[in-house]
Amino acid sequence: MKIIAIVSAKGGVGKTTFSANLGTEFARTGLPTVAIDLDPQDALRLHFSAQAPGPEGLVQATLAALPWRQHFLRTGNACELLPYGRVQESSREAFEQVLREQPRLLQDSLQGLRLPQDAVVILDTPPGPSAYLTQALSACNAAVVVLLSDAASYATLPMMQTLLKRYCLSRSDFSDYAYLVNQVDHSRQLNSDVAYVMRMQFGARSLAPVHQDQAIPEALASNQFVGDYDPLSRAAHDLGAVSEQLLRMLTVGAGSAA
């Protein structure tokens, strides 16, 4: 089993969009894939299903000590989904307390799922430091740091470095991390320049960029995976390329993107 954490310091950079599309791409290559929403926004489900949100999900299963698998949502997509769940504020607080008290909760629960050896688990996280991010970084074998090509995202790099160092880099079961620059727009000079600077700085840890493309919000509005909504779009092409790159990084293993 390989666990990939999708992380960022800032919100609205495309983590949830990327998590859903990556999960679907992986599942379509035949890998057993599970996407888990660790963000109280409970937004990952929107990419998979038009069903009305319910309380079933990660929080309810954990608080009721039920197997997580019982709360996997049927999506009609090959990628399975464990939503966060639409829960009361008191449940969110209780869940976050559990996360703080049991730093290995996510790691142990994922092992307890007894997924096949070739399974991939994708963890969507809320922005910035939190108990969710700590759990995700402590459990993952690889991490993708999602950024926009702007000065605000650039300024967050030292913080992400510190967190990766603390929770990932010293673990022998951690392969590597990589950067995804999203919403690149070459018609805007500054955006294009920052994307270039980031690419140079990240070197081999730079994933192929994902361009700004209306197909992404449009696919979300129709609860579809971008590759189904508009297979010929720039976004579908970009997301496909990144998924392939990540798959190689996971299968080749430690040091591949160093």
Ligand X SMILES: Nc1ncnc2c1ncn2[C@@H]1O[C@H](COP(=O)(O)OP(=O)(O)O)[C@@H](O)[C@H]1O
The yes or no reply on residue 16 touching Mg ion (CB under 5 A) is yes
Using CB under 6 A, which of the segments 54-62, 97-105, 172-180, 216-224 binds ligand X?
216-224
Residue 152 in contact with ligand X, rule: CB under 6 A? no
Task: Please identify which residue in 112, 158, 217, 231 interacts with ligand X, judged by CB under 6 A.
Answer: 217
Residue 8 interacting with Mg ion (CB under 5 A)? no
Judged by beta carbon, residue 16 or residue 33, the one nearer Mg ion is: 16
Q: Is 182 in the site for ligand X (CB under 6 A)?
A: yes
**Smallest distance, ligand X to C-beta of residue 162, A:** 20
Among 16, 33, 62, 149, binds ligand X (CB under 6 A): 16
Token pair 């579908």 in the structure block, residue = 236
Can residue 38 be called a binding residue for ligand X (CB under 6 A)?
no
Is 183 one of the binding residues for ligand X (CB under 6 A)? yes
Q: Do 22 and 68 touch, CB atoms closer than 8 A?
A: no
- How crowded is residue 136: how many other Cβ atoms within 10 Å of its Cβ? 26
Residue closer to Mg ion (CB basis): 20 or 27: 20
Half-sphere exposure of 181 (CA within 13 A, CB side): 27
14 binds ligand X (CB under 6 A): yes
Largest interatomic CA distance in the chain: 52
Which of 11, 253 has the CB closer to ligand X?
A: 11
Residue (37 or 213) nearer to Mg ion, CB: 37
Question: What is the residue whose two structure tokens read 């992404």?
Answer: 216
Whole-angstrom distance, CA of residue 179 vs CA of residue 182: 10
**Interacting partner of 158 out of ligand X, Mg ion, none (Cβ under 5 to 8 A depending on kind):** none
Q: Is residue 39 a contact partner of residue 16, using CB atoms and an 8 Å limit?
A: yes
Residues near Mg ion (CB under 5 A), total: 2
CB closer to Mg ion, 25 vs 39: 39
Q: Which residues of 54-70 are buried (b: 16+ CB within 10 A; e: fewer)?
A: eebbbbbbbeeeeebee
Q: The tokens of 229 are what?
A: 């909504």
DSSP-assigned letters across all residues of 130-190: SHHHHHHHHH-SEEEEEEESSHHHHHTHHHHHHHHHHHTTT-TT--EEEEEEEEE-TTSHH
Shortest Cβ distance from residue 11 to Mg ion (Å)?
A: 7
For residue 193, which amino acid is it? D
d(CA 209, CA 148): 10
Q: Which of 4, 17, 208, 236 binds ligand X (CB under 6 A)?
A: 17
The yes or no reply on residue 21 touching Mg ion (CB under 5 A) is no
Q: Is 125 in the site for Mg ion (CB under 5 A)?
A: no
Q: How far from 90 is each of 63, 147, 206, CA to CA, in Å? A: 11, 32, 40
Size of the site for ligand X (CB under 6 A): 18
User: Which residues form the interface with ligand X (CB under 6 A)?
Assistant: 8, 11-17, 43, 182-183, 210, 212-213, 216-217, 220, 235
User: Which residues form the interface with Mg ion (CB under 5 A)?
Assistant: 15-16
